[in-house]
Amino acid sequence: MVHLSRVKRGKQAQKPQQEQDQGESAASPYVYGTHYATEELPEHVMSEREMPADVAFRLIKDELSLDGNPLLNLASFVTTYMEDEAQNLMTDAMSKNFIDFEEYPQTAHIQNRCINMIAHLLNAPTTEGDGELDTIGTSTIGSSEAIMLATLAMKKRWQNKRKAEGKDWTRPNIVMNSAVQVCWEKAARYFDVEEKYVYCTDTRYVIDPKTAVDMVDENTIGICAIMGTTYTGQYEDVKAINDLLKAKNIDCPIHVDAASGGFVAPFVRPELEWDFRLEKVVSINVSGHKYGLVYPGVGWVFWRSPEYLPEELIFNVNYLGSNQATFTLNFSKGASHVIGQYYQLIRLGKHGYRSIMQNLTKTSDYFADELKKLGFLIMSDGNGRGLPLVAFRMKPDDDRLYDEFALAHVLRQRGWIVPAYTMAPHSNQLKLMRVVLREDFTIHRCNILLEDIKAALKSLQEMDAEMIQKYTLHLRAHSAKKLPQQHAHYKNEKHSLQGKTGKTHGVC
């Protein structure tokens, strides 16, 4: 049975004026019915008056919807997925200042548990007794800070030794691959250490151990070796560098930048010797927010023993209520990410991490095989011999009208962020693309990407030269408009590797 209702008219439909006014004033304004919807958001000067919380939330959320989808960002190594339980724990801890050990002692205990668990993954040496000579470590905001701290420790230890021998201590240098992440350039520049590069070639994209050891002199504070380069994801041969230093009786430490590979190699290639099992490796950094599976904001750095972390770099403070030692570039930081790291370590355990990393390795091998069928050249190492990523480029072809950058632009229209860039100096005429596989990159999504790559290639092949040129120029101009512009004063710098050689740092 249908209920019929009578429509009221005239005076019957009107409420008393007082009652109507009270109802309107009590009601919360609809966001898009407020005057804020017709005004530009503040960009340069704070507004004089407050804005309702729901309006501010909605307008910012709307603007952020213009960002790319993190799940389709295949340029970044940084974690884009965590379970709700982990996110809830991290949200609850957002107001905690990690450095305040007196107020938040359990958070400090959790950091120490993380340090012990990760150090054991790196085969950290331990001693009997009170453990004063055991491996030590600390959390950082990321691997960039960790690398800064490790560089400072190597420099200070070298200077102390030179001063004790009555030798010049003012000209330190460090040996590294030209394919290092930009934070190594920063560390050397910020702390007045000369950069000595082992350059890549057209066929070698990692450090050459013999060349690196031959470059060591009395002023070398250490050699940087990378477990998972940003460009191609390859592991550098740390053991070969270690063995050459020992064979030549050269007293030079190795720092291993395992920002990406530190949470991968122990589970996929446990037999590979690159960590504290090697005598010359004195410090290692890893990123919790990469394959450590935590959202961006946490890294870890370890030293073989206190001998390699000079005492004068450590500061003891007590103005937070208890005595504590600190060695960081930044004092205050949130506790959320350390807690997020602990959640992942106990939630997944070794079996969970091993399953994820092995799945990613299988998927990356499958993706590389499919790209080969499409005619691409693979520049990364498969079968667990490098990171679970695929670096690839097109075969040389003078008749082809498009390049890797054009393909990246077409894929961007579909939502995929697949970076195209040039290789490191001395091989930077090579163009390549790279897909980083993170834990949420399933085989199903991989096949969707492959279909979109096929479709993109087909559309590019159907364009003539004039259309290709107009298309790429339009897309590059459109992309440039969306990005924050570089400050004009620093636009033409010539001191960095990019400024000197025109190479780009692969997106990290």
CA angle, 134 as apex, 133 and 140 as ends, to 5°?
120
User: pLDDT tens digit string along 133-170?
Assistant: 689 999 999 999 999 999 999 999 999 999 999 999 99
| Element spanning 296, H or E | none
Cα–Cα dist 473/480, whole Å: 11
Do 80 and 70 contact (CB within 8 A), yes or no? yes
Strand 420-422 with 431-436, pairing: antiparallel
Cα–Cα dist 77/397, whole Å: 31
Show the domains of the chain with their CATH numbers: 31-65 (no CATH), 87-343 (3.40.640.10)
Do 301 and 140 contact (CB within 8 A), yes or no? yes
The predicted structure's pLDDT at residue 342: 98
The predicted structure's pLDDT at residue 464: 79
User: pLDDT tens digit string along 177-215?
Assistant: 999 998 999 999 999 999 999 999 989 999 999 999 999
Cα–Cα dist 314/312, whole Å: 5
The predicted structure's pLDDT at residue 25: 44
Region 303-313: mean pLDDT is 93
The predicted structure's pLDDT at residue 23: 46
Cα–Cα dist 274/295, whole Å: 26
Q: Is the pLDDT confidence value at 7 over 80?
A: no
Cα–Cα dist 508/434, whole Å: 11
Q: Is the pLDDT confidence value at 275 over 60?
A: yes
SS3 42: coil
Region 239-254: mean pLDDT is 98
User: pLDDT tens digit string along 235-245?
Assistant: 999 999 999 99
CA nearest neighbour of 235 among 390, 365, 386, 358: 386
SS3 348: helix
The predicted structure's pLDDT at residue 122: 97
Q: Is the pLDDT confidence value at 473 over 80?
A: no
Cα–Cα dist 169/172, whole Å: 7
Burial of 186 (0-12, 13-18, 19+ CB in 10 A): middle
User: pLDDT tens digit string along 438-453?
Assistant: 999 999 999 999 999 9
The predicted structure's pLDDT at residue 294: 97
The predicted structure's pLDDT at residue 357: 98
The predicted structure's pLDDT at residue 468: 77
Q: Is the pLDDT confidence value at 470 over 80?
A: no
User: pLDDT tens digit string along 74-100?
Assistant: 999 999 999 999 999 999 999 988 877
User: Which spans in 299-379 are helix H?
Assistant: 336-373
| Element spanning 485, H or E | none
pLDDT band at 327 (very low <50, low <70, confident <90, very high): confident
The predicted structure's pLDDT at residue 11: 64
| Element spanning 195, H or E | strand 194-198
Of 144 and 318, more confident: 144
Region 478-486: mean pLDDT is 60
Average pLDDT, whole number, for the chain? 88
The predicted structure's pLDDT at residue 503: 62
Do 289 and 70 contact (CB within 8 A), yes or no? no
User: pLDDT tens digit string along 383-400?
Assistant: 999 999 999 999 998 788
Residue 361, amino acid: T
Q: Is the pLDDT confidence value at 255 over 90?
A: yes
CA nearest neighbour of 99 among 392, 412, 327, 280: 327
Helix axes 404-414, 465-482, angle to 10 degrees: 60
Complete DSSP assignment for 59-83: HHHHHHTTSPPGGGB-S--S-----
pLDDT band at 266 (very low <50, low <70, confident <90, very high): very high
CA nearest neighbour of 103 among 320, 411, 375, 267: 320
Cα–Cα dist 322/255, whole Å: 32
CA nearest neighbour of 145 among 301, 336, 313, 332: 301
Of 127 and 172, more confident: 172
Residue 508, amino acid: C
pLDDT band at 328 (very low <50, low <70, confident <90, very high): confident
Do 137 and 302 contact (CB within 8 A), yes or no? yes
pLDDT band at 20 (very low <50, low <70, confident <90, very high): very low
CA nearest neighbour of 284 among 222, 343, 341: 222
500 alpha-carbon distance from chain centroid: 24
Strand 420-422 with 136-140, pairing: unpaired
pLDDT band at 12 (very low <50, low <70, confident <90, very high): low
The predicted structure's pLDDT at residue 26: 45
The predicted structure's pLDDT at residue 18: 52
Do 177 and 427 contact (CB within 8 A), yes or no? no
Q: Is the pLDDT confidence value at 24 over 50?
A: no
Q: Is the pLDDT confidence value at 502 over 90?
A: no
Cα–Cα dist 7/10, whole Å: 10
| Residue 311: DSSP 8-state | G
Query: Which residue is associated with the tokens 């990393």?
Result: 357
Structure tokens at 200: 């890549």
CA angle, 385 as apex, 384 and 389 as ends, to 5°?
65
